[in-house]
Structure formats: C-alpha cells, structure tokens
Structure 1
Amino acid sequence: MDIKGKRFLVVGAGRSGIAVAGFLLRKGAVVMLTDNREIVSLDNALDELVQAGLQTALGIYPDVREGVFDAVVVSPGVPPDVPPVAVARQCGIPVLGELELAYRFASAPMVAITGTNGKTTTTTLVGEIFRAAGLRTMVGGNIGLPLVDVVEEYGPSDMIVAEVSSFQLETADRFRPRVAVILNITPDHMDRHGTMENYTAAKARIFARQEPDDFTVLNYDDPRTRALADSTCGKVIFFSRKHNLEEGVLVRGDMITVRQMGVDTDIISAREVAIPGLHNLENSLAAVAAACALGVAPEVLARTLRSFPGVEHRLEAVAQKNGVLYINDSKGTNPDASIKALEAYAQPIVLLAGGRNKGNDFTEYARLIKQKVRALVVLGECAGEIEQAARAAGCNNILRAPNFREAVIMAHNLAQPGDVVLLSPACASWDMFNNYEERGDLFREIVNSL
C-alpha cells in the first residue's frame, strides 16, 4: 500500500486511532486526527505525534470532499454513519479500518478469532499454544494491542493471533487470515448493527477473502455459526461440545478429540482443562482446532490446556473472604456472556448486574437469575430494565445501588459463607467507566479492601 505523501483522515482519537495516526506518520503520510469530542486526553503519545506533524480537528469534523483526503481510516468504536465516513464513501474516497491497514503490512500468517463471546479467552489461549510450540507469536487486535503498532516486527516464520470484532470487520476488504475462527453469534450490538442478519454478515467478513488452502473454524453447536459453512471458500473445521462429529474437534466421552480422516487423536480429558465453565470448554475446542490446522502437536495442546489460567476480567477469582468467593466477570458485557458465567457455578450467587444496554433483551438472563441467584444488586443506566425483567421472572430479593462502590459493599453484606459474589453485568461499562477493564479493576480493588 502506497502511503508516503498521501493525505489520511483518521476518525476517532482513542487507542486505535492514535496507533493508526502514528503508523501513518512513520510511513511519511500527511495525517489529520479528528474526533467529535472537543477535549481528548492528550497523553504523551498524542503529544509526541502532534510534535511530529500530526494535525488535529477536535470537537468538529473537517470537511471531507473529493481531493481533500486520499483515504479515511475509521476507528472501530466510530459508527459508520458519522459525517466524514459517510461523505467519504459518497465521494468514492477509500474507507478502511486499523485491522485492514495492519493486514496490508503483515507478512506473518494470521489466526483471526471473532464471536459474540469468548474472543479474548480463546485468542489468548491460542497465542499461548503457539508460544508453547516454539513460535514467536504476537497476540493483539481487539484484545488491546493495536496490530499496526507491531505488525511489521513479525515475519513469515512467526505467528499473529488477532481478536477481531464485528466493528473492525465492517471495514475489512482484503483481510485474509490463514485461519478464521467464529466462536458463536448471539444477540449483541443491536444498537450498532440493527438486525441479527447485519450482525452475522459483519462476523462473516472474517472469511470473505479466504481461499481453499485457508481454514475456517466454526462452532457446530451454534446454529447461526454452523450455517456459515456454506459461505466460506476455506476448509471448514467444526468443533462441538455436544455432537459426535464425523470430522472435527469434539468431546468423545470425556476426551477432547481431534477426528481427521477417520482417525481419532485424543488430546486431554475435559476435566483437566484449567479454565472453568462449559463455555470455556468450547473455547478450548476452538483453540485446538485452530492450532491443529497449522500443525501444532497434541502434547503441546495438552500441556497448554492444563496450565492456561484464563484472562483478567473473565471469571477471574479475585479473593475468598469468610467463605465467600469473589469473581470478576466484568467482561460479561451482554446477557449471553453473563448467562455462561452464571452457569459456571453450582454455589448460591450474589450477582452484580447493570450498566449501559447495547440493545439487548434480558428475558433469558432473568430466567437464569431466578434459578441461580440468591440476591441481585442492580446498578447503572439500565438497572430498571434488569430489575423489571428479574421481577417478571419471579425474583424478589433485588437491591438497587446508587454507585459501583456501594453495589460491591451491598453484595458483600448480602453474601453468606459458601456463596459466590459475581460481577457479571450483562451490559457495557460506558455509563460509569471508560471500559470493562476499568470496571473490573475497581471491583478487584474494592474486594481486596473489604
């Protein structure tokens, strides 16, 4: 991609936008960074970029006309209908995202992982597997490290494992991972995509440019994901926790098994997988499928699955105090993710839930709350919605907290020895925090100070 001397508009002054602006400047481009916020945190990285020649337009979008900019790079969190992006498309100006930009400069093979839930855990696990196999491996993307920051440091003998979101895939064009993984597709981000059809189509862009020598890993147990098998040109590898697949990665008896051309290769007992929960067993099956596709040995897979502890903010055990286990599942940002968290524990649960709804329905979540939760503490913008759904499901022990700190203290006071205090909000954090990590960090800090 020819960048030197070209004029780029980068829309969105968050982590991804700042990384893109720096990448383009280093390549000799003329770059303007814009954001509809008038005040953006000018950290050291952005200050340095301004000193290096970065132009900024904060609080108001610049005029985007034919001949003003050669290309527009949009950050994942920026809706596709904002004026500079919409006008650029009308004028025929190329619009791409950080994922697409990074891919065009990548020389290492890439495993890309998407899905409504489980992306971060599976991406991290796949990265650990490849490292255990002796490959120099970068783990990045939506997981936190923008790919453009380091993509050129990895070559053909290395590996890139990328978590990719539906927002990132909206602007994918030439993006072609060697292995594309879709874990599941359940309702989320309806405020952005509008319909499940649109959301599914965005996820399916992960394999849109694959060819027959590439691999597409799909969850056979998830109907929407399974149905995508006919849409990819890549070699499909199914994984399943529930079905006896003719070929793919499955649970046979108690064994995680790879079945290829009529030959079964046992990897590890499902009971030996270190991370808890049936959903994490599914994530482990997906990771085995992705790694096997690129030739990782069974003993490496087994060793990693036995030792991988999981990721921060996803069923993270924070502390055990007076017989009460405190679990940080701040990454449960939609009902389906929080349903999986509730299913992971047999003990009585004191649940903290609420935040900003992303257009989701809480009915199924509330039904499980009725079955699993002894006391519910609701908070945030949609506290009323969750409380209403829970009461409709027959829950009565519900308290509403005025703020996050008070919510944790209320849950602590409600808990009895043998209980689990579970932060799994089923909502985004943006009403009170910048991201789910900040929310989980505060939960951890409050719990440890109790």
Structure 2
Amino acid sequence: MSKYKGKKVLIVGFGLSGVAVARYMAKQGAKVTVTDMKQKSELADSVNACAELKIEYELGKFNPLTFRAAELIVVSPGVPLSTKPLDEAREANIPITSEVELAASALKEPLIAITGTNGKTTTTTLIGEMFKADDKPVYVGGNIGKPLIDHISDGSRVDAVVAELSSFQLELTEKLVPAVAVFTNIEEDHLDRYPDMNGYIEAKKKLLKACDKNSYVVLNYDNANVAKFAQETSGKVMWFTKQDPLKIGGEFAENFYGCYFRAADKQVIAKVTGKEEIYDVSQLRIFGDHNKENLMAAICTARAMGVSPKAIQHVINNFKGVAHRLEFVRRKDGVYFFNDSKGTNVMSVQRSLGAFTSNPIILIAGGKDKNMDFAPLVPYVQQRCKVLILLGEAKEKINRAIGDFSETYLVGTFEEAVLLAYQKSRSGDIILLSPGCSSFDMFRNYEERGDYFKKLVTQL
C-alpha cells in the first residue's frame, strides 16, 4: 500500500511540476488539492491534463485554512517559499517538500544532478546523449522540461537519471544524494527571488551539501564562486578548466583530476580514469568558450559513470546544440540571425556576445527585469555591438546602463525590434536575440519568446 493513500496532499503551483505531482499523488490514492494564484482559465492546459483524476481545486487565491488542513504540502519551484501561507504551515509543523525531493527519495538509480547559472541544459543534454550513444538507458529530466516524478510514475529502469536542477528546485532539498553533482558556473541571477547574491549561492549549495564522500563533485575552476566549493565538500572533486593545469602549477597540477582544454590543438584532455585521454573537438558544432566548459563538464561526468570514450567522441562530433541557446535561425541577404532567448541574465549575454569574434552584432535585448545590474555589459557592447535594440519592461533600465555605448533604439513590440534590426543590418552582420531578462512581461516562457522570434525572422 502506498504511504500516501488517504493522505491530504496540497500541491501549491500548477505548472508542469505541479501537474506531474498531482497525477502521481492521485494514482497513489492521496486526497489531492491543487492551489494556484492563477485563475482556472489561465491553467486550462494543466486542468485538462488531470481531467480524469479526482482532484479538488482552489484557484485564483491561497486559502490559509487549506494549507493548515494539509498533511503534506508539495511546492512547485515557481512559488517562493516566503509565501505567507507556507510560513504558517511551517509554524504548524506541516511537512513541506518539492517534486524533486519526492522523486529523489524514490529513485533506485544513480542521480546525476546539474546546476549553475548558465549552461545547465546544454550540459544535461550532452550527458544524456553520451549515455545514449553508449547504449546505456537514461532518463533526462528536471528543469529541462520532464519532471523527475514522471520517471517514478512510469516505473522504467535506467542506468542513470540525469537531472537539471535550478536554484528554485534545490531550495527544499533534504534527502537527495547525487552520484555526481555538476556546477557549471554561478553568477548574478534571480535577484528578484533572493535578497542578495549570497542567498542565491546558498540555494545552489544545497546540492553541494547533499553530496557524500562517494559523490563526484564536478567544479568549474575558472568560475570563482564555484571553485570555492572544493573546500566545502567531502565528495571526490573533479575539475574542468580552459587553462593548462601545468600553467596553474602547484598541487593543482600535480593532482589534477578532470578535464582541461588545449586550445592550440583543439583538444580536451581528460584525466578521470587513471590515464590521460584525448578528445578531438575540431568538429564541435556548438561554439563559444562557455560551450567548451559545458562539454568538459559532460565528459568528466560521463567518464566517471563509465561511458566509453568512443561514445563521447561520437557526441562531440554530432551534437547540434539545444534550441534557444545561440541557435542559428537563418541567413538572409548575408545577415545571420541567432536565437539566444534562454539568455536571461547578464552573464549569458556576455558569453553570447563573446562567442562571435569579428562580425558586427545587432543585439535585441530586454524583457522582465530580475533586479539585475546591466553595467557589466558595457565593454561587450562597446567592442561587439553595432546597434542595440531594447524592448520590454526593463528597456529603460538597460538603456540607462549601456545605451550610451552603441547606436540604441527603444521599441514597443517584438515585431518592431526584428524589423528595425533587419533594416539596420548589412551583409556580414549578426542579429542576435539575447534578452538578458526573463520573458514573463510579454510571453509565457523563454521558449515561446524564442519561437516567436524565429517566426518573425522566417517571415522577413
């Protein structure tokens, strides 16, 4: 008998994660109530996905009495834990958990968990593809769009579960113990959710604290916030870096364990299994230094988990990237269009601009501000941007920070932005959508924003 049978379970937030938990709990025999601040009309897809199940709904508001009546509360990642009814439930000692924690507690397979500010999805996808290329069954999910609880529901067995985990998903982590924990990088982000940068880092460190002495901890040596984690874990640290360990010197070079990039030879050198392995990256289709970091993190992880070098090399040669991440859309009249809608913070815009070394760039940026400081973009805009086109709620703030360093236009719609960018372009130019902001002022998510950009570009 399920331990949830007959239990009063309240699900807070009814997006992708909330729907998955509702379906799982209903099938376990729980008495499920779903609550969300959105109206039923805004949640039609979610409600329809659970139409055949016996579920109570309280939509459009949070009722404190419902929270206090629950025996278990499952919070979706989009709901801040500071929400008042959740505070009251904690005071009443009502258990509060997350979809990720529920799934992790039921997992029978090794968990590979990937977090960071940028690069999570690409790294997660690369690891999954490496397993598949080696004929190793794998479940790839988490923040990438497939809830982990769905894997528990379907009962399938795999060699590993590869999970992208956001800071929001990690906030309620207590029992999760990863076989591998990957930290791609940590830079300023989500300051509309956290009081300061330290609060954001502490959320990420939940994954670090979840590791035990048998966990592999894959860290980015070139990212100061992540490199510090080596002193705070009992796990087996593996490094990835764009620098030659011999040039870094000292104990780091003597005891190097992980991957580094040898730029002159277009190679990744891996020291993971006790002997040096060389991977040719001359055919790598994803570009930019950040993608070299993502690749090295994936190689470290895959080799630690027994994926063959042959399978890894196959993925290096054939991986085409992930949609909305420096995604090439089309070439028209000699102008190149790239969709980087997933570029939702300042660091991601820096990396995207830095990925193009010579062509003049027309940058389309803006959206819903996450309380970010856009001033660090100044040197990138000065060096790389021919024209800057700003839109969305944050356009005035971005303009004040960087508008004086390029020919800058503020527009009201996406249609205006794309048309103006094309009008200002010349053969050889790059038109890049890399917003540096979330999408929620104009779109449901970054995918919808990126798809709309691609649609407008194809209609030119």
Aligned length: 447
1:145 matched to 2:146 = yes
Shift of the 121–335 alpha-carbon distance from structure 1 to 2, 3 Å rule, reads same
Quick one: which amino acid aligns to residue 59 of structure 1? G
1:319 matched to 2:330 = yes
TM-score scaled to structure 1, two decimals?
0.95
Residue in 2 aligned with 1:68?
69
TM-score scaled to structure 2, two decimals?
0.93
Residue in 1 aligned with 2:412?
402
SS of the equivalent of 1:145 reads: coil
Question: How many Å apart are 1:242 and its aligned residue?
Answer: 2.1
- Which of residues 295, 298, 301 in structure 2 aligns to 1:287? 298
Shift of the 151–273 alpha-carbon distance from structure 1 to 2, 3 Å rule, reads farther
SS of the equivalent of 1:20 reads: helix
Residue in 2 aligned with 1:256?
268
Shift of the 151–369 alpha-carbon distance from structure 1 to 2, 3 Å rule, reads farther
Quick one: which amino acid aligns to residue 22 of structure 2? A
1:308 matched to 2:319 = yes
- Which of residues 316, 340, 356 in structure 2 aligns to 1:345? 356
SS of the equivalent of 1:258 reads: strand
Distance 1:291 1:183 in 2: 15
Residue 138 of structure 2 contacts residue 158 of structure 2 at CA under 8 Å; is this kept in 1?
no
Shift of the 260–63 alpha-carbon distance from structure 1 to 2, 3 Å rule, reads closer
Question: How many Å apart are 1:209 and its aligned residue?
Answer: 2.5
- Structure 1 stretches lacking a partner, 5+ long: none
Residue in 2 aligned with 1:41?
42
For residues 248-276 of structure 1, give each alpha carbon's deviation from its aligned partner in whole angstroms, at most 9, with x where no partner exists: 2111353201124873211223x332211
Residue 273 of structure 2 contacts residue 303 of structure 2 at CA under 8 Å; is this kept in 1?
no
Residue in 2 aligned with 1:190?
191
Distance 2:436 2:85 in 1: 32
SS of the equivalent of 1:41 reads: helix
Distance 1:104 1:262 in 2: 33
For residues 131-171 of structure 1, give each alpha carbon's deviation from its aligned partner in whole angstroms, at most 9, with x where no partner exists: 11111111111011111123344656422111100000001
Residue in 1 aligned with 2:108?
107
Question: How many Å apart are 1:198 and its aligned residue?
Answer: 1.4
Question: How many Å apart are 1:66 and its aligned residue?
Answer: 8.4
Distance 2:128 2:122 in 1: 10
- Structure 2 stretches lacking a partner, 5+ long: 246-252
Shift of the 48–288 alpha-carbon distance from structure 1 to 2, 3 Å rule, reads closer
Larger CA deviation: 418-427 vs 403-412: 403-412
1:390 matched to 2:391 = no
Question: How many Å apart are 1:377 and its aligned residue?
Answer: 0.5
Question: How many Å apart are 1:89 and its aligned residue?
Answer: 1.1
Shift of the 297–251 alpha-carbon distance from structure 1 to 2, 3 Å rule, reads same
Question: How many Å apart are 1:407 and its aligned residue?
Answer: 0.7
SS of the equivalent of 1:218 reads: strand
1:77-88 maps to which residues of 2 (within 5 A)?
Answer: 77-88=78-89
Quick one: which amino acid aligns to residue 409 of structure 2? L
Distance 1:441 1:48 in 2: 23
Shift of the 41–229 alpha-carbon distance from structure 1 to 2, 3 Å rule, reads same
Quick one: which amino acid aligns to residue 400 of structure 2? Q
- Which of residues 438, 445, 449 in structure 1 aligns to 2:455? 445
Residue 324 of structure 2 contacts residue 340 of structure 2 at CA under 8 Å; is this kept in 1?
yes
Larger CA deviation: 226-235 vs 310-319: 226-235
Distance 2:131 2:137 in 1: 8
Distance 1:262 1:3 in 2: 46
Distance 1:8 1:305 in 2: 44
SS of the equivalent of 2:193 reads: helix
Distance 2:87 2:112 in 1: 31
1:413 matched to 2:426 = no
Residue 272 of structure 2 contacts residue 303 of structure 2 at CA under 8 Å; is this kept in 1?
no
Larger CA deviation: 35-44 vs 322-331: 35-44
- Which of residues 365, 368, 376 in structure 2 aligns to 1:364? 376
Shift of the 302–422 alpha-carbon distance from structure 1 to 2, 3 Å rule, reads same
For residues 294-341 of structure 1, give each alpha carbon's deviation from its aligned partner in whole angstroms, at most 9, with x where no partner exists: 111212111101110000000000000000000000000001001100
The CA RMSD over aligned residues, in Å, is 1.7
